[in-house]
Amino acid sequence: MNTQVLAPEEMRYLRELKGIFHLLRGREVAVDEDLLLEGFYFSAEAHRGQRRYSGDPFISHPVAVVKILAEHSYVDTETLLAGILHDTLEDTDVRKEPVTLMANFGEEVFSLVRGVTKLKPAYFRGKLELQAQTLKRFFFEALTDPRVLPIKMADRLHNLWTA
């Protein structure tokens, strides 16, 4: 298990994640808790210094997405892992080296994360083309692996609650 030192404000979200593990155990849902903790540490490090509009550390959002998934959806380790990592390709330096995400968590998780990640505007002629291509990729990924849908829905739901 990762022995990285967390900032004191990140410890709260590590405790929340461990509470989610307790919830899943109570429902007899088996997940790889050690791998999910690795994902938490990876995401916390990638988002370190970023804040939500509320002022909370950004890691609060991926943990909230995992909680929504755990409470309201069929879950497996890969879905929860993609939930905790879902913004790393979009909002952190991981986007410069996406291979690190695949190397650490595998192609399946990488594909789920990529499926919920918005495309970058620099590659398109305008906002409409960007939105169309982002939706096209999202629907393609969702057809390939339907677990993309609950991850994106949990992400959007938490954003609605906290906007």
* Banded model confidence at residue 157, pLDDT cuts 50, 70, 90: very high
Predicted TM-score of the model (pTM): 0.89
Determine whether 91 is an active site residue.
yes
Confidence at residue 143, expressed as pLDDT on a 0 to 100 scale: 86
DSSP secondary structure code for residue 126 in this structure: S
Q: Please, which pLDDT band fits residue 10 given cuts at 50, 70 and 90?
A: very high
Helices (H), the chain: 8-26, 33-47, 60-72, 77-85, 88-91, 99-116, 127-144, 148-162
Q: In the prediction, which pLDDT does 1 show?
A: 45
10 is catalytic: no
pLDDT at 98 over 90: no
Q: Which of 91, 107, 141, 155 is catalytic?
A: 91
Active-site residue, from 32, 56, 90, 145: 90
